Structure 1
Amino acid sequence: MSIGERFQSLRKSIGMKQVEFAKSIGISQGTLSDIEKGKYKPSIETIISTSEEFGVTTDWLLKGDVVKFEANEKFPITAKELVDRILYAINKEKNTILAEKKMPPNVLNRMISLIIMGLYNSKSTRDELILINIFRKLKNEEKNELLLLANNILGIMELKNDEIL
């Protein structure tokens, strides 16, 4: 995947149109379109602002470093297929969450972006701090719902409602 394809993948994974995404990182829609098509490489400033705005690492944007596996590890599913399935499941739930919580789509998109891109990073210390800060600002019932959503989508936690907080 090229750097332009990573920009496009990030933008689409959070459900943003080019105009909105470009504005949030301080470039024009035309420039973003050219980056996504591979006509131009993004500037250092654009890479940094994208990293800061959406919680992805500059390494991921520049090199596409995803997950580091041991050379001898074998998995029955590719990382891309797993990510695609996770994104599909999240997108199915987005409208339900937006309706139930009456939250702006950009807030949910930002939360999803931070969580998903955190999964891409082998060194996610910065991303973890961002997520912790966001999580701390949520109301307890929102924290519970976010944890339950992660449990339902990823199956990574075995918690009952009363064990979460």
Structure 2
Amino acid sequence: MGRYKPPRRRGSKYITPEGEKALRDELYQLWKLERPQVTHTVHEAAKNGDRSENGDYIYGKRRLREIDSRVRFLNKRLDELEVVERSPDDTSKIRFGAWVTLETEDGQEHRWRIVGPDEFELKTGKLSMDSPMARSMLGKGLDDEVVVQSPSGEQVYYVVGIEYQ
């Protein structure tokens, strides 16, 4: 049996200015700072002779491959991304970049920002626009009901706040 993995569906091409800056910062960190250090380490390790038992050489080469792969991905991705810098004309509806406050039926509030798939981070309340939760929110207005299908069953939320910053 082979190791073939079907290609992943590409995420949406939208990103916030903060998300683009984070990707560009990561690219700079990898290409200008980390890669030269790892290259130097591998170069020095190669001088030591037997490379088959040289941990610095083996792990350095592996790290270089990881860095190069990520740099290629970031360069391609940054070329195709579209930065959304302004709020939509109709700020009464949930669109990309909105901070949305949802309330459950038992009164618990959750606050999410709808962002691109390259910048989502659930710990900080950033939700990918490609996620089922965000897709069910898009286009809704204040006091609308949001129904999300989850593995544990259907969840119902109510939109209690929409903000654009």
- State if a TM-score over 0.5 links the two structures: no
* TM-score (ref. length: structure 1): 0.23
Bigger fraction of residues in helix: 1
Please, what TM-score do these two structures have when normalized by structure 2? 0.23
Larger radius of gyration: 2
